[in-house]
Amino acid sequence: MLSPVHEQAQALVSLSNVGILRDGRWLVRGIDFSVRRGEIVTLIGPNGSGKSTSAKAAIGVLKPDEGRIERLAGLKVGYVPQKLSIDWTLPLTVRRLMTLTGPLAERELMAALEAVGIPHLARSEVQHLSGGEFQRALLARAVARKPDLLVLDEPVQGVDFGGEIALYDLIKSIRNSTGCGILLISHDLHVVMAATDTVICLNGHVCCRGTPQAVSQSAEYVRLFGSRAAASLAIYSHHHDHAHLPDGRVQHADGTITDHCHSDDGHHDHGHHHEGGHHDDVSDHRHGSDEELTGRASPRDKAEGERHA
């Protein structure tokens, strides 16, 4: 369900009854959703349920075998794929990463790094970045050309729990400041829900959709993910009330900033633990997976290689 603001906003991309067939198998079928200006839409679903496939169809990387996809004329897309192919044996600075797919004015490059909180890392080698810093660099690269639609495939992989919240807050603030539409893919049911207008739950087809609260209570969702995930999702979406800043401090709902979370902050009082960074009731992140740059890839980007684990 969209808020009235989003309902009136322009649709950036709309998929109607989209199906993708490969090697005689329907990877997805009957996919129906749209992303409007200023809206954050999150695709969730188990491994192999067609989230990346649907996102790639939305931005035109994959052509549908049935159904229709309408994109706003001249739509500018910023895409952070799930996997990147970079030759990690070659030196690559953040600055260079930002310009791999095309030139970028210095002012825009620095503005993007500032927007994601890492202007001080412009000259750093990408292979030395932490997981959270690397994801921020990828985000900077995607927002630098001021896209109308930002597509982020698992943007918090390799990021610890505090960093996840900071990244989702950052994504939300990018939406608020630029008014772009955002299509997110995530396994992080707890956190992502706090930053999402519309959730589309996939399982080869659209299994259910709506606000995070509505989806977490739907029978299809509970069948797919289990009641435990549904309960924690519902709790989380109500309790998230503070942001983790890039420097590790915590900004509370009333605007105050402290060095640590308060004991009554949302993610500390819902009955399970987050020690060791990431947790997930449904499925795990893949850390350090093989990566391929898809979408707006240049041949150079497609160099073989693996990101360090």
Ligand X SMILES: Nc1ncnc2c1ncn2[C@@H]1O[C@H](COP(=O)(O)OP(=O)(O)OP(=O)(O)O)[C@@H](O)[C@H]1O
**Token digits of residue 243:** 């942001």
Return all residues near 201 (Cβ < 8 A) that are at least 6 apart: 44, 45, 207, 208, 209, 215, 218, 220, 221, 224
Residue 48 or 226 having the CB closest to ligand X: 48
Q: How far is the CB of 51 from ligand X (least distance, A)?
A: 4
Residue 117 or 204 having the CB closest to ligand X: 204
Backbone angles phi, psi at 68, to 5 degrees: -135, 140
Query: In angstroms, rounded to a whole number, what is the distance separating the alpha carbons of residues 61 and 47?
Result: 20
Q: How far is the CB of 256 from ligand X (least distance, A)?
A: 37
Residue 244 or 278 having the CB closest to ligand X: 278
> Considering the rule CB under 6 A, would residue 216 count as an interface residue with ligand X?
no
> Considering the rule CB under 6 A, would residue 290 count as an interface residue with ligand X?
no
Residue 29 or 96 having the CB closest to ligand X: 29
**Token digits of residue 77:** 């897309």
Strands, sheet with 181-185, edge to edge from the N-terminal-most edge strand:
77-80, 149-153, 181-185, 40-44, 198-202, 206-210
By CB under 6 A, which span of 20-28, 73-81, 114-122, 237-245 interacts with ligand X? 20-28
> Considering the rule CB under 6 A, would residue 23 count as an interface residue with ligand X?
yes
Strands, sheet with 25-36, edge to edge from the N-terminal-most edge strand:
25-36, 11-22, 66-71
How many residues contact ligand X, by CB under 6 A? 12
Strands, sheet with 250-252, edge to edge from the N-terminal-most edge strand:
242-244, 250-252, 257-258
Q: How far is the CB of 53 from ligand X (least distance, A)?
A: 3
By CB under 6 A, which span of 22-30, 73-81, 89-97, 115-123 interacts with ligand X? 22-30
Backbone angles phi, psi at 306, to 5 degrees: -130, 140
Residues 42-71, one symbol each (x = binds ligand X by CB under 6 A, - = not), give ---x-xxxxxxx------------------
Q: How far is the CB of 31 from ligand X (least distance, A)?
A: 11
**Residue ranges that bind ligand X, judged by CB under 6 A:** 22-23, 27, 45, 47-53, 82
